[in-house]
Amino acid sequence: MIMMMPSFAHAQCDPIQNAKLFPFDGQSGDRSGDSVSISGDIAVVGAWRDDENGENSGAAYVWKRVDGEWLEIAKLVASDPAVEARFGWSVSISGNFIIIGAPGVNGASIQGAAHVFLQFIGVWVEIEKFESNEGAARDFYGYSVSISGDRFIVGAPGLDDHGVGSGAGYMYELADFEWSQVGRFAPLDGQPFDRFGIGVSLSDDIAVFGARGDDDTAEDSGSAYIYTQLPGGEWDQRAKLLADDGGVLDWFGGAVAASGDTVVVGSVFNDAVGLESGSAYVYTSNDNGMNWAFNTKLVPDDGAAGDNFGYVAINGDTILAGAIFADTAAGTNSGVTYLYTRVGGSWVQRSKILPTEANAAFGVSASISDQYTIIGAPGEGLSGMAYIFDLNCPAIAADLTGDGTLNFFDVSAFLNAFAVSDPIADFTNDGQWNFFDVSAFLAAFSAGSP
Q: Is residue 26 within 8 Å of residue 6, measured between CB atoms?
A: no
Question: What is the DSSP track for 224-257?
Answer: EEEEEE-TTS-EEEEEEE--TT--TT--EEEEEE
Same domain (yes/no): 350, 438: no
Q: Which of 394, 418, 441 is the last residue of a domain?
A: 394
Same domain (yes/no): 368, 424: no
Same domain (yes/no): 390, 400: no
* pLDDT, tens digit (0-9, with 9 covering 90-100), for 101-127: 999 988 667 899 999 999 999 999 999
Q: Which residues pair with 339 in a beta bridge?
A: 320, 351
Residue range of the domain that includes 280 = 2-394
Q: How confident is the model at residue 404 (pLDDT cuts 50, 70, 90)?
A: low
- 339 pLDDT higher than 90: yes
Same domain (yes/no): 337, 386: yes
Same domain (yes/no): 253, 163: yes
Q: How confident is the model at residue 286 (pLDDT cuts 50, 70, 90)?
A: very high
- 253 pLDDT higher than 80: yes
Same domain (yes/no): 288, 434: no
Same domain (yes/no): 308, 450: no
Q: What amino acid occupies position 159?
A: L
d(CA 59, CA 100): 9
Q: Looking at residue 11, what is its pLDDT?
A: 32
Q: What amino acid occupies position 109?
A: S
Same domain (yes/no): 315, 430: no
d(CA 211, CA 209): 7
Q: Looking at residue 343, what is its pLDDT?
A: 86
Q: How confident is the model at residue 405 (pLDDT cuts 50, 70, 90)?
A: confident
Same domain (yes/no): 358, 416: no
* pLDDT, tens digit (0-9, with 9 covering 90-100), for 340-399: 999 888 999 999 999 999 999 999 999 999 899 999 999 999 999 999 999 986 567 788
* pLDDT, tens digit (0-9, with 9 covering 90-100), for 411-440: 998 899 899 988 888 888 888 889 998 999
CATH of residue 323: 2.130.10.130
Q: Which of 394, 420, 441 is the last residue of a domain?
A: 394
- Domain count for the chain: 2
- 94 pLDDT higher than 90: yes
Same domain (yes/no): 52, 116: yes
Query: What's this model's pTM, rounded to 2 decimal places?
Result: 0.86
Give strand ranges (E) for 40-112.
Answer: 42-47, 59-66, 69-76, 90-94, 97-102
Q: Is residue 223 within 8 Å of residue 214, measured between CB atoms?
A: yes
Same domain (yes/no): 372, 429: no
Of residues 306, 233, 305, 226, the one with CA closest to residue 263: 226
